[in-house]
């Protein structure tokens, strides 16, 4: 039955969200406040609402207003904690439209518009990398291409890394799918990689011990000229190398590996080259920072998260391959109820993905970027990196605070004093007070405070006030 109150309910929800956005942005609320789960469940009347039903009108309005109080305020300019976007409000409308239309496009017929937009966004990313886009089914002129790029959008970068490694495995060892792993396969991963890569090796049954760390310099960047010796040693020990991973950029401090040099070594040794650009894909689209990803076009696969630096609501990520056949052949299972010969004007995305049913991830990405325009997007990405660099310069001249490295993206690490435990205590107090929300990380064998300057409204004054607050807390904690 159609909810006859839909229009007025939707209007109430939008009004509440608009007010929320306004209040979050002008700092009327704490950026973070964490009551217990018990209190939240009680305050929201979850159990009585489930029992009584009829979540509409004032009941809905009250619930939404209460719910909004329990949220972490991502739109607050002092949200600087994690690599999760501050979504563009227009992109959030994409989530809303997707939720109602529910065009779960495992197969084309389940969501022609959602599939078309996903494929268009994949082509947009392929072109930015420097690869050939997928010819669009139904286009009046069919280009005669032997090979071109391909991709699929996934629910997050972790799943995208997993998908890329499945594609690498099927390309390098096609018989593994049926026969299973042989136990002698290794993947070379930078120390500073996101944990999802090591987890992927475990999930694929390759054995975590077969995830080999690549030698790195003191900042954690891969040293490419150490790779040939490592490859030789591994081969001598009877290992087969499935893939080498480059970070663009690493998770902790946001540094980019020298992709062009790693790629050349992969090419020479015929090893799959995977680039994890989940966080750092912004450099692919910004001419100013493109040098950081030089050589990315020589990768076999790239992971790109739109829900990090592209102002897209979670989740919206992509795995992209230089040769579409590698993704099309990655999964060789059958699902006869979905996959059968059929004439259709589009293509089925489920052939390329871990997921079967999937939401309109491309729609959210498209609406977020289309709201800003490419120029607006580039200005945003560039301004966040510049602010991190400016903040590091400000810290450089303070004698009680230090940065471990000059930022290359919007990630800024620093610490006050040398005591690891003290950094954790400071963050704990900051979060308890709720006026700033930052994270911490392990890096260079020490604990650092960490800001991800992802909010478009954060300024240098916010960072200066954060440092003022940190000094105050440090003094209160004593020596």
- Judged by CB under 6 A, the chain residues 345 through 384 that form the site for ligand PLP are none
Site string for ligand PLP, 202-241 (x = CB under 6 A): ----------------------------------------
Q: Tell me which stretch binds ligand PLP (CB under 6 A): 8-16, 29-37, 150-158, 337-345.
A: 150-158
116/189 with CB nearer ligand PLP: 189
Window of 99-107, 152-160, 322-330, 344-352 that interacts with ligand PLP by CB under 6 A: 152-160
User: Is residue 164 involved in binding ligand PLP (CB under 6 A)?
Assistant: no
Q: Which two tokens stand for residue 297?
A: 């076009």
Closest CA to 203 of 181, 182, 224, 235: 181
CA–CA separation, 204 and 237 (whole Å): 22
Of 12, 24, 77, 83, the one binding ligand PLP by CB under 6 A? 83
One residue of 94, 151, 157, 190 binding ligand PLP per CB under 6 A: 157
Round to whole Å and give the CA distance between 227 and 215: 8
d(CA 377, CA 387): 16
Nearer to ligand PLP, 107 or 152 (CB): 152
- Measured CA to CA in angstroms, residue 116 lies from 109, 153, 302, 347, 349 at distances of 11, 12, 21, 9, 10
Least distance from ligand PLP to the Cβ atom of residue 108, Å: 26
Nearer residue to ligand PLP within complex by CB, 158 or 455: 158
Of the listed pieces 41-49, 157-165, 283-291, 427-435, which binds ligand PLP according to CB under 6 A? 157-165
The reply on whether position 158 binds ligand PLP by CB under 6 A is: yes
* Tokens (6 digits) for 54: 């009829």
Kindly state whether residue 450 participates in binding ligand PLP, applying the rule CB under 6 A.
Answer: no
Of 251 and 385, the one with the shorter C-beta distance to ligand PLP is 251
One of 167, 317, 365, 452 touching ligand PLP (CB under 6 A): 317
The span from the CA of 118 to the CA of 125, in Å, is 11
CB contact at 8 A, 222 and 216: yes
**301 binding ligand PLP? (CB under 6 A):** no
**Shortest CB 254 distance to ligand PLP, Å:** 9
Angle at 114 between CA 314 and CA 90, to 5 degrees: 50
* Nearest residue relative to ligand PLP (C-beta): 157
Residue 164 C-beta-side C-alpha neighbours within 13 Å: 33
Out of 118, 257, 305, 323, the only residue in the binding site for ligand PLP (CB under 6 A) is 305
Element (H, E) at 412: strand 411-416
CA distance 256 to 216: 12
Select from 73, 75, 78, 194 the one that contacts ligand PLP (CB under 6 A): 194
Per CB under 6 A, the list member of 189, 278, 299, 449 interacting with ligand PLP is 278
Q: CB burial class (10 A; 0-12, 13-18, 19+) of residue 260?
A: middle
> Is-contact 105 111, C-beta < 8 A?
yes
How far apart CA 148 and CA 322 sit, in angstroms, is 7
Nearest CA to 72 out of 317, 176, 372, 80 is that of: 80
Q: Which is nearer to ligand PLP, 194 or 274 (CB)?
A: 194
Q: Which of residues 240-259 bind ligand PLP (CB under 6 A)?
A: 251
- Interface with ligand PLP by CB under 6 A: which range of 30-38, 154-162, 228-236, 360-368? 154-162
Instruction: Name the residue among 274, 299, 7 with its Cα closest to residue 128.
Output: 299
* Polymer length in residues for the chain: 479
10 Å CB burial of residue 39 (0-12, 13-18, 19+) is: exposed
**Minimum Å distance from CB 307 to ligand PLP?**
6
Count residues near ligand PLP (CB under 6 A).
13
Residues of this chain that interact with ligand PLP (CB under 6 A) are 83, 156-158, 161, 194, 196, 251, 276, 278-279, 305, 317
């Amino acid at each position: 039955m159609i909810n006859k109150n839909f229009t007025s309910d939707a209007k109430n929800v939008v009004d509440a969200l608009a007010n929320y956005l306004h209040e979050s942005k002008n700092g009327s609320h704490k950026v973070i406040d964490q009551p217990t789960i018990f209190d939240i469940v009680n305050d929201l009347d979850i159990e009585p609402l489930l029992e009584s039903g009829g979540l509409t009108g004032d009941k809905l309005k009250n619930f939404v207003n209460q719910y909004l109080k329990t949220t972490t305020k991502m739109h607050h300019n002092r949200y600087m904690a994690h690599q999760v976007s501050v979504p563009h409000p227009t992109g959030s409308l994409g989530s809303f439209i997707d939720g109602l239309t529910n065009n779960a496009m495992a197969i084309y017929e389940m969501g022609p518009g959602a599939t078309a937009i996903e494929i268009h966004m994949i082509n947009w990313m392929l072109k930015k990398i420097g690869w050939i886009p997928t010819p669009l089914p139904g286009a009046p002129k069919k280009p005669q291409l032997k090979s071109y790029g391909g991709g699929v959008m996934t629910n997050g970068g972790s799943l995208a890394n997993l998908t890329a490694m499945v594609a690498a495995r099927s390309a390098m060892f096609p018989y593994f799918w049926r026969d299973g792993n042989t136990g002698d396969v290794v993947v070379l991963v930078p120390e500073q990689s996101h944990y999802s890569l090591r987890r992927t090796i475990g999930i694929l049954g390759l054995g975590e011990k077969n995830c080999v760390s690549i030698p790195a310099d003191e900042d954690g960047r891969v040293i490419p000229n150490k790779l040939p010796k490592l490859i030789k040693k591994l081969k001598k020990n009877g290992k087969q190398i499935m893939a080498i991973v480059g970070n663009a950029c690493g998770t902790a401090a946001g540094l980019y590996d020298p992709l062009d040099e790693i790629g050349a070594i992969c090419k020479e040794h015929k090893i799959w080259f995977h680039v994890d650009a989940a966080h750092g894909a912004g450099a692919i689209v910004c001419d100013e920072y493109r040098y950081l990803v030089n050589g990315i076009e020589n990768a076999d696969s790239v992971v790109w998260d739109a829900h990090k630096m592209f102002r897209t609501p979670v989740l919206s990520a992509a795995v992209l391959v230089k040769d579409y056949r590698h993704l099309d052949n990655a999964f060789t299972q059958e699902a006869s109820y979905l996959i059968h010969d059929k004439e259709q004007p589009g293509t089925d995305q489920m052939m390329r993905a871990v997921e079967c049913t999937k939401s309109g991830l491309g729609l959210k990405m498209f609406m977020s970027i289309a709201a800003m325009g490419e120029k607006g997007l580039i200005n945003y990405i560039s301004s966040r990196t510049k602010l991190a660099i400016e903040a590091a310069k400000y810290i450089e001249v303070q004698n009680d605070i230090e940065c471990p490295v000059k930022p290359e993206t919007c990630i800024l690490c620093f610490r006050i004093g040398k005591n690891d435990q003290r950094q954790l205590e400071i963050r704990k107090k900051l979060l308890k007070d709720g006026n700033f929300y930052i994270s911490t990380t392990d890096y260079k064998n020490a604990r650092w405070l960490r800001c991800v300057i992802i909010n478009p409204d954060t300024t240098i004054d916010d960072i200066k006030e954060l440092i003022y607050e940190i000094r105050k807390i440090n003094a209160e904690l004593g020596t």
